[in-house]
Chains A and B, each alone.
Chain A
Amino acid sequence: GAVVSQHPSWVICKSGTSVKIECRSLDFQATTMFWYRQFPKQSLMLMATSNEGSKATYEQGVEKDKFLINHASLTLSTLTVTSAHPEDSSFYICSARGSRGSYEQYFGPGTRLTVT
């Protein structure tokens, strides 16, 4: 149980275009989803927290107009990188939490984004 998937697992896009990454909780309803960014050989940095049906809360320094997050249902959250630039190339990982107040997060396998 508690499986989280991400799609696509790997994407290449041209500079200036937008790319959407999906995060799905497959066997549970996720009241909260988190989006992380991981640079090579570095830790995970939390980008934003999204609760189903409400606007995402972004961490300091994260551009909300560039990284659009939508959490339209209890099983799906999307991250859209708008007007992507090469510096947006990174490994993006989502996680999901089944109930408010729970400390545990279940992580997706990640999406490798390369912007050329």
Chain B
Amino acid sequence: AQSVTQPDIHITVSEGASLELRCNYSYGATPYLFWYVQSPGQGLQLLLKYFSGDTLVQGIKGFEAEFKRSQSSFNLRKPSVHWSDAAEYFCAVARQSGGSNYKLTFGKGTLLTVNP
């Protein structure tokens, strides 16, 4: 069965420090991977996605993620965190659900706190 693991429930970093959020997936076929961000009481905003090609993908707000097939990982990074980055981050994998339909399976999320 497909699954997504985010090992870190809560991470605290100082503003200006670098950030890496971990994501590991379990999926038999070629994975289609996503990172979403959720601010308190809000829906999800797509940060970036990986479908194929270059394993280092760039997203919005200065985020990037690297797909490593050998490690089944898709870690999210940012070189310098801003206070506005404080939010919940979800990694997800798209899985085929029949025909041309796909569903998303989400990890449990990582809460990011940014200290001034």
A interface residues (Cβ-Cβ under 8 A, vs B): 4, 6, 32, 34, 41-44, 46, 49, 91, 93, 95, 100-110, 112
Contact = CB atoms under 8 A, between A and B. Distances in A.
Chain B CB count within 10 A is highest, among A4, A41, A44, A100, for A44
Given A43-B108, A103-B32, A103-B51, A34 B43 contact: no
B42 A32 contact: no
Interface of B: 32, 36, 41-46, 49, 51, 90, 94, 97, 99-109, 111
Contact of B104 (A4, A46, A91, A108): A46
Contact of B109 (A4, A43, A103, A105): A43
A107 B107 contact: no
Given A104-B46, A107-B45, A109-B43, A44 B90 contact: yes
